Chains A and B, each alone.
Chain A
């Protein structure tokens, strides 16, 4: 009797989860299905769920579309991502070391201030940062607006979320290790570079991964700071394919482009799943 009940609840859990997961996957399936139709087929109602024959030409069309240049946009995105990842990983690690391994007065207060910056709604800094960059454009020889600098430069000064994540990890490295190195004549920077960083590879790759995803995902930043289509990132470029200010949308092309933008992230996720999930789990802990 009891085991019968347990069986029932076991089965119920599976049925519930299967249905829910189907709901989560359907949008992906619908995107793929539409991307394999022709523009005309996509406009047919009721829709054909499985397009036959599959129109692979959509991907050819969307690879070099007059409004969406995938290789170019991908390169632009990767350049920003590479600079942001390199910049934030090194700087955030340095700062996190200061917050976890050096004892000094005011450390707790500064750490609290850093955490609280994560709460600031972006419009508060968006307007004046734009004005600040504009001022720099006029008064210095360096150009900011209309270039990708505002999209990666701030990351080179450490990002609150990344510093927090790395600090939590550094705290778990026993101080005995660094003390031993100190006795061997190692400086603080040496301890940071030769002991803490090599031991923190999982946390560092997590930071790199999240930053990469963040750049790939970012829409607001590029839409504020980039002015020429040849500088566009994938996320910004994608919105150019949509006729949201009046024109008719080719849904198959839009879904094809969306697939191209999403696919690298999904592949990356499956390659790094463990780092990823553990990183998120850490952020929820204090």
Chain B
């Protein structure tokens, strides 16, 4: 394990030297120890090494420490063992925020996957004006999240909003989109679909890399339509699906601005996502220790979920030529 990287490095360097003896003779590379160009490498990496330490390692370690403390910012942190975690287990609003986040994930992840993949498949057809369609779908992803919140707040407005106006035209009574606990979360899932453009572009790039021969071969074997999709397209773009799945899982734990600006977590905490509850505890109630404990639980959950995704990926993700 430890020696492997160096041997491969020297192995790949060796043929190059042998192929060009004059070059090698002109300027022999100084013999390096097993560490390679470690000094030079670390020099180039130094900005990141410093930043990684200061802005990632130290804060994570600190928040781990804070999570074991009573900490209100004004007084120095006071170690209290696992009390924060114990209190969390009994905090109904913590469990509520976990439930909200999970429900959102269960609705938004598959919906986002299906819609973005479906759109990418449509856009991948050989038709005119693809660039225009693609641009229309991509534009919403440019909108800053604060503006997205404002626009949809207005679209969802119960009395004056465009959505209820259109629904009224076909005889559906006004829906209290953001003021009813049972509808607010699905409404946010729906509006999240407005931002699929980014994922669509990634899928499109993946689709364009599927070799045409595969489709021709499938056609010769009589596979068309859905079977071609299932047996050729999906396996071929499974690495891209996997990539987008990981991004989406991470994204769910980051949902924050939309509920903050649109509902402030309401109505009746129906949209109080976990990231929001952490934020409120940290900056509204100044319970930094408690917030840190929650953040750590979140970190562990992300690790477990992405771990599961990686672990199952060998069954359904096909890397070409590997």
Main secondary structure of the interface of A (DSSP, over half): helix
Q: Are A94 and B37 in contact (CB under 8 A)?
A: no
Q: Are B137 and A254 in contact (CB under 8 A)?
A: no
Chain A residue with the shortest CB-CB distance to B239 = A286
| Interface residue? A182 (CB, 8 A) | yes
Q: Are B295 and A124 in contact (CB under 8 A)?
A: yes
With A251-B154, A262-B143 as contacts: A242 and B261 at CB distance below 8 Å = yes
With A121-B299, A132-B59 as contacts: A26 and B162 at CB distance below 8 Å = yes
CB distance from B290 to the nearest CB of A (A): 10
CB distance from B130 to the nearest CB of A (A): 9
User: Which residues of chain B have C-beta atoms less than 8 A from A255's C-beta?
Assistant: 150-151, 154
Q: Are A244 and B261 in contact (CB under 8 A)?
A: yes
CA distance A98 to B49 in the complex (A): 12
| Interface residue? A20 (CB, 8 A) | yes
CA distance A56 to B201 in the complex (A): 36
Q: Are B45 and A280 in contact (CB under 8 A)?
A: no
21 A-B pairs with CB atoms under 8 Å apart are A10-B127, A30-B155, A31-B151, A45-B165, A46-B168, A94-B44, A95-B45, A98-B41, A103-B36, A118-B250, A123-B275, A123-B279, A123-B291, A126-B282, A128-B60, A175-B16, A188-B40, A192-B44, A217-B144, A219-B261, A236-B146
| Interface residue? B140 (CB, 8 A) | yes
With A94-B47, A127-B66 as contacts: A34 and B299 at CB distance below 8 Å = no
User: Which residues of chain A have C-beta atoms less than 8 A from B172's C-beta?
Assistant: none
User: Which residues of chain B have C-beta atoms less than 8 A from A217's C-beta?
Assistant: 144-145
CB distance from B45 to the nearest CB of A (A): 4
Q: Are A95 and B44 in contact (CB under 8 A)?
A: yes
Contact with A along B280-310 (1 / 0, CB 8 A): 0011000010011011101100110010000
Stretch at the interface among A57-65, A78-86, A153-161, A199-207: A153-161
Q: Are B62 and A262 in contact (CB under 8 A)?
A: no
Q: Which of A110, A156, A235 contacts B145 (CB 8 A)?
A: A235
Q: Which of B129, B144, B198, B292 contacts A262 (CB 8 A)?
A: B144
User: Which residues of chain B have C-beta atoms less than 8 A from A192's C-beta?
Assistant: 44
Q: Are A254 and B144 in contact (CB under 8 A)?
A: no
Q: Which of A91, A104, A182 contacts B35 (CB 8 A)?
A: A104
| Interface residue? A21 (CB, 8 A) | yes
Q: Are A154 and B150 in contact (CB under 8 A)?
A: no
Contact with B along A138-173 (1 / 0, CB 8 A): 000000000000000010111000010000000000
Q: Are B244 and A284 in contact (CB under 8 A)?
A: yes
| Interface residue? A102 (CB, 8 A) | yes
CB distance from A212 to the nearest CB of B (A): 12
Q: Are A128 and B62 in contact (CB under 8 A)?
A: yes
Q: How many contacts A-B (CB < 8 Å)? A: 287
Main secondary structure of the interface of B (DSSP, over half): helix
Q: Are A157 and B34 in contact (CB under 8 A)?
A: no
Total A residues in contact with B, Cβ cutoff 8 Å: 97
Chain A residue with the shortest CB-CB distance to B200 = A280
Q: Which of A43, A105, A122, A216 contacts B5 (CB 8 A)?
A: A105
| Interface residue? A17 (CB, 8 A) | yes
| Interface residue? B6 (CB, 8 A) | yes
With A27-B155, A235-B144 as contacts: A124 and B41 at CB distance below 8 Å = no
| Interface residue? A177 (CB, 8 A) | no
With A255-B151, A280-B198, A284-B205 as contacts: A95 and B48 at CB distance below 8 Å = yes
| Interface residue? B188 (CB, 8 A) | no
| Interface residue? B167 (CB, 8 A) | no
| Interface residue? B316 (CB, 8 A) | no
| Interface residue? A13 (CB, 8 A) | yes
| Interface residue? A129 (CB, 8 A) | yes
Q: Are A119 and B295 in contact (CB under 8 A)?
A: no
CA distance A1 to B134 in the complex (A): 31
Q: Which of A154, A219, A224, A280 contacts B201 (CB 8 A)?
A: A280
Chain A residue with the shortest CB-CB distance to B288 = A127
User: Which residues of chain B have C-beta atoms less than 8 A from A14's C-beta?
Assistant: 127, 129
User: Which residues of chain A have C-beta atoms less than 8 A from B54's C-beta?
Assistant: 157
Interface residues of A in 183-232 (CB under 8 A from B): 183, 188, 192, 213, 216-217, 219-220, 224
Q: Are A219 and B257 in contact (CB under 8 A)?
A: yes
With A98-B45, A284-B206, A286-B239 as contacts: A120 and B60 at CB distance below 8 Å = yes
